[in-house]
Amino acid sequence: MLSKIAQFKQTENDLRQALLAVGSYKTLDTITVSDLVKQAQVSRGTFYLHHQDKPTFVATLEDEMLERFDQIITAQLPLLIRAKDDEQAVTKLITAVFEYVASQQQLCCFLFGEHGDATLLVRIHKLFTNRISGLFLSGQKGQANIPLEYAIRHVASSILNFMVIWLSEHPNMTATNATQLMLKFMRVPTMQLLKQDQ
């Protein structure tokens, strides 16, 4: 017999898996508590012991994801600030972010996708922008003759857009391969990306 803690964790996992299963054919906005409990094979009472309502349940999942992104980036920032080799430090940061995304692939695919929550992408973009801004405020200087605010938002948008394309178009790509491809994009000037070999 499972302990109460183990039962709680099992129910949370069952509800999460139910959200992903129902989300394969319904949008987040149209998913109901009834859909979740039916799919998870738990009672409504059990659901309400865990969460106030569906929005609170989804907010918990999204907040956990944002917190984990924040932890990953915050852990890598000292390396970026002290780095003699910027590319190696950036590689470690992107690898850590992409490994987390790969570990949460189903949830990310759903929440970032057309059935998910577009506001989550805005919140992640804001987090990335704030953390990258913090890096520059810690003494790093921009190299290009571009206003720093534009450069920071461009980098944050590039990483986030790449993640969305990776998950939706190439879900079998490994985190390592995704990191390598992202770094290739970062090395090539934007105007060169669309030029074809002659």
Specify the domain boundaries for CATH 1.10.10.60 within the chain: 1-51
Specify the domain boundaries for CATH 1.10.357.10 within the chain: 55-188
Tokens of 24: 């394969």
Mean pLDDT by 10 residues, the chain (198 residues): 83 96 96 97 95 96 97 84 69 92 95 94 94 66 69 89 94 94 86 68
3-class SS string, 45-75: HHHHHHCCCHHHHHHHHHHHHHHHHHHHHHH
pTM for this prediction:
0.87
Q: 55-188 is classed in which CATH architecture?
A: Orthogonal Bundle (1.10)
pLDDT at residue 85, as a whole number = 58
Find the length of the chain. 198
d(CA 164, CA 169): 8
Pick 1-51's CATH classification: 1.10.3720.10, 2.30.30.140, 1.20.120.550, 1.10.10.60: 1.10.10.60
- The three-class DSSP label of residue 189 is coil
**Other CB atoms within 10 Å distance of the CB of residue 186:** 15
> Would you give the DSSP letter of residue 59?
H
